[in-house]
C-alpha cells in the first residue's frame, strides 16, 4: 500500500476478496498502512434485533440476518483479526434473546467484541449483557491503532430509575423509534472522564477508531439518532490527527465530517430504518451536514440491509456498501475536501431538485 493512493488500491484488493461471497450483512474493515506487513482487517456486524416470540420461537427473519452475517464473517479472506458487534443484539433485552444471539455469535471463528445497544440495555440496565460480553466501555491497541468502545445509549438517572413502574415498561418505552416518552441518549460524565484519561496515553498521530451504538453527533432527536453530550465527546477527540467514529443504531447509510472526526454508520442485519423526513429541522440542532445522504428504499424489505467493505488507510474510512438488489455505494474520504464523499451519488444529486434530497 502506498501512501499516495492507498484507498483505491486497498479497496479493490478487499472488495475482490469479499465480493467472491454472496451479498450478506457483514462489514469487513481493513486498516492499511505504508508497510503492508502492518495491514489487518476486522469484521463488523450490527443491529440483529433477535426477538423472542414465545419459548424457543424467535422472529425467523432477524435470526437469518445474523446467521448469514456470522457465516460470511467466517468465510472472509484474509481472516479478520477480530469481529465487532455494534449493538441491539436483542429486541427487548430479554435473557432468552441475548442468549440466542450469543449462541449465534459464538459460531464466529475470531475474537468478538461488543457494543451496547439500547435494546440490549433497558430491561436490566445491561446486567446480563455484561455477563455475556464483558465491559460496556473499554479500549485496546491493535497494530498501531487505538480502538475505543463507548456505551452511548445511557440517559438521565431520573428517566432510568424513577419514571417507569416496571423494567419491562422502561424497555418498551425506549424501544420505539419515534416514541415521545423516550429520552435522549448520552455517554455521560463517568465515561467521558474515563475517555479523557484513556486518551492521555495516546499519541496525537495514532489513528483512533471509536465504536458507539448511537452516533456521537446530533442527527435527529425525534428518533434518537442523537447523543446528547456528543460535542463533549468530540472535544476530547479533537486533538488527534485522525479519528473515525463507526456506529450502528440508525440502520442506514450515513456519513459526515465534523472537524477532524469522520463519521460512518453501518447497516443492520435486521431491517432498514427510513431516513428522517428532514435532516435539517431546526429543533434537532443538527450540525451542518457536509454531505447529502443517499437514500435507500425503506419500503423494500431487504433494501439497505447488506454489507460493507471498509478500508481505513492512514486512519480514514472508505466504505463500500453492497446493497441487496440495489446499486452499490462507495463513501470514501476525500482528502482535498477533508470529508467523506459518495462521488457518484453526489454528482448525480447535483442534477436532482433539492426537494428530492433526503
Question: Binding residues for Fe ion, per CB under 5 A?
Answer: 47, 88, 117-118, 249
CA torsion angle 139 287 238 196 (round to 10): -50
Whether the Cβ atoms of residue 125 and residue 156 lie closer than 8 Å to each other: no
Cβ at position 47, least distance to Fe ion in Å: 4
Cβ at position 273, least distance to Fe ion in Å: 8
Cβ at position 321, least distance to Fe ion in Å: 17
Beta strand residue intervals within 111-191, DSSP E: 111-114, 138-142, 145-149
Cβ at position 328, least distance to Fe ion in Å: 23
Residue 248 or residue 315: which is nearer to Fe ion going by CB? 248
Whether the Cβ atoms of residue 243 and residue 338 lie closer than 8 Å to each other: no
Residue 151 or residue 234: which is nearer to Fe ion going by CB? 151
DSSP class of 287: P
Signed CA dihedral, 25, 6, 42, 114: sign only:
negative
Residue 113 or residue 249: which is nearer to Fe ion going by CB? 249
344 alpha carbon, distance to own chain's centre? 23
Cell of 356: 428530492
Cβ at position 291, least distance to Fe ion in Å: 23
Closest to 89 measured CA to CA, from 121, 134, 57: 121
Residue 93 or residue 117: which is nearer to Fe ion going by CB? 117
Whether the Cβ atoms of residue 305 and residue 315 lie closer than 8 Å to each other: no
Residue 72 or residue 118: which is nearer to Fe ion going by CB? 118
Beta strand residue intervals within 115-186, DSSP E: 138-142, 145-149
Residue 47 or residue 341: which is nearer to Fe ion going by CB? 47
Residue 118 or residue 313: which is nearer to Fe ion going by CB? 118
Residue 88 or residue 342: which is nearer to Fe ion going by CB? 88
Listing from the earlier edge strand, what are the strands of the sheet with 261-265? Answer: 138-142, 145-149, 208-212, 243-247, 261-265, 255-258
Helix/strand/coil for 136: coil
- Give the angle subtended at the CA of 174 by the CAs of 189 and 307, to the nearest 5°: 90
Cβ at position 271, least distance to Fe ion in Å: 9
Residue in the shown chain whose Cβ atom is closest to Fe ion: 88
Cβ at position 270, least distance to Fe ion in Å: 7
DSSP class of 222: G
Cβ at position 281, least distance to Fe ion in Å: 20
Amino acid at each position: 500500500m502506498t501512501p499516495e493512493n492507498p484507498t483505491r488500491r486497498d479497496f479493490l484488493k478487499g472488495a475482490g476478496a469479499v465480493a467472491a461471497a454472496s451479498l450478506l450483512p457483514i462489514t469487513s474493515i481493513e486498516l492499511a498502512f505504508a508497510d503492508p506487513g502492518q495491514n489487518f482487517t476486522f469484521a463488523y456486524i450490527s443491529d440483529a434485533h433477535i426477538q423472542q416470540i414465545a419459548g424457543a420461537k424467535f422472529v425467523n427473519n432477524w435470526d437469518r440476518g445474523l446467521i448469514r452475517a456470522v457465516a460470511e464473517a467466517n468465510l472472509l479472506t484474509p481472516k479478520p483479526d477480530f469481529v465487532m458487534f455494534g449493538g441491539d443484539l436483542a429486541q427487548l433485552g430479554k435473557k432468552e434473546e441475548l442468549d440466542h444471539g450469543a449462541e449465534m455469535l459464538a459460531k464466529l471463528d475470531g475474537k468478538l467484541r461488543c457494543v451496547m445497544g439500547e435494546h440490549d440495555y433497558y430491561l436490566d440496565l445491561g446486567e446480563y449483557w455484561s455477563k455475556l460480553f464483558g465491559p460496556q466501555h473499554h479500549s485496546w491497541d491493535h497494530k498501531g491503532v487505538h480502538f475505543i468502545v463507548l456505551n452511548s445509549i445511557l440517559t438521565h438517572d431520573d428517566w432510568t430509575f424513577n419514571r417507569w413502574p416496571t423494567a419491562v415498561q422502561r424497555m418498551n418505552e425506549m424501544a420505539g423509534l419515534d416514541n415521545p416518552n423516550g429520552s435522549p441518549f448520552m455517554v455521560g460524565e463517568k465515561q467521558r472522564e474515563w475517555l479523557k484519561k484513556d486518551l492521555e496515553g495516546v499519541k496525537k498521530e495514532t489513528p483512533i477508531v471509536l465504536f458507539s451504538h448511537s452516533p456521537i453527533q446530533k442527527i435527529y432527536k425525534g428518533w434518537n439518532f442523537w447523543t446528547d453530550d456528543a460535542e463533549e465527546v468530540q472535544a476530547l477527540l479533537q486533538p488527534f490527527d485522525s479519528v473515525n467514529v463507526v456506529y450502528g443504531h440508525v440502520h442506514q447509510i450515513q456519513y459526515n465530517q465534523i472537524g477532524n472526526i469522520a463519521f460512518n454508520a453501518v447497516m443492520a442485519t435486521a431491517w432498514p430504518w427510513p431516513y428522517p423526513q428532514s435532516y435539517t429541522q431546526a429543533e434537532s440542532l443538527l450540525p451542518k451536514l457536509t454531505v447529502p445522504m443517499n437514500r435507500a428504499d425503506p419500503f423494500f424489505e431487504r433494501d439497505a440491509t447488506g454489507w460493507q467493505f471498509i478500508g481505513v488507510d492512514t486512519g480514514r474510512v472508505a466504505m463500500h456498501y453492497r446493497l441487496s438488489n440495489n446499486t452499490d455505494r462507495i463513501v470514501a474520504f476525500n482528502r482535498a475536501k477533508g470529508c467523506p464523499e459518495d462521488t457518484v451519488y453526489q454528482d448525480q444529486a447535483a442534477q436532482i431538485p433539492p426537494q428530492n434530497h433526503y
